[in-house]
Amino acid sequence: MMLLLTVLATTSLHGEAFTNQDIVAGSYGDNVIELQARLQYLGFYHGEIDGHFGSGTEQALKKFQKQFGLPTDGVAGNNTRSKLEGFADYSVKVGHLLTTLLGNEIVRSKAMLRTQSSNSSR
């Protein structure tokens, strides 16, 4: 168990690439999960990674855009996504809790299930 924690504490995580579509307020799904996760890692987003692009995600995105000299429109367009993808390889810092890593995967799985469930009910 200790070995697993040590390995997880020093492993690099590779973020998934975004699809080629703008991510806007009201969006939901995998792109939003990836957006929230990247913004959270970078310290801009402090909410739940739930796959829904709400006001908290929009505010975090605008802060990110402003800091990096991008148009602060709250839309994750090509330039914003490219800048975020520049942080694709990020390392887990020593002391990062295993529950956080597993928690994010659980949230991602739940969001995917909700998306699949809502798509199949249409």
Q: What domains are defined for the chain?
A: 2-120 (1.10.101.10)
59 — phi, psi (to 5°)?
Answer: -60, -45
- The tokens for 98 are 């295993």
Q: Burial letters for 7-18: b for 16+ Cβ neighbours within 10 Å, e otherwise?
A: eebeeeeebeeb
- Taking the C-alpha atoms of residue 106 and residue 99, their distance in angstroms, rounded to an integer, is 10
Helix 55-67, helix 30-41: angle, nearest 10? 50
pTM: 0.62
What's the pLDDT tens digit per position in 31-67?
999 899 899 989 999 999 999 999 999 999 999 999 9
Confidence of residue 118 (pLDDT cuts 50, 70, 90): low
φ/ψ bin of 69: left (φ > 0), alpha (ψ from -120 to 50), beta (otherwise): left
Confidence of residue 116 (pLDDT cuts 50, 70, 90): low
What's the pLDDT tens digit per position in 3-42?
333 333 333 344 566 788 999 999 999 899 989 989 998 9
pLDDT for res 53: 98
Pick from 87-91, 109-113, 118-122: least confident:
87-91
Confidence of residue 101 (pLDDT cuts 50, 70, 90): very low
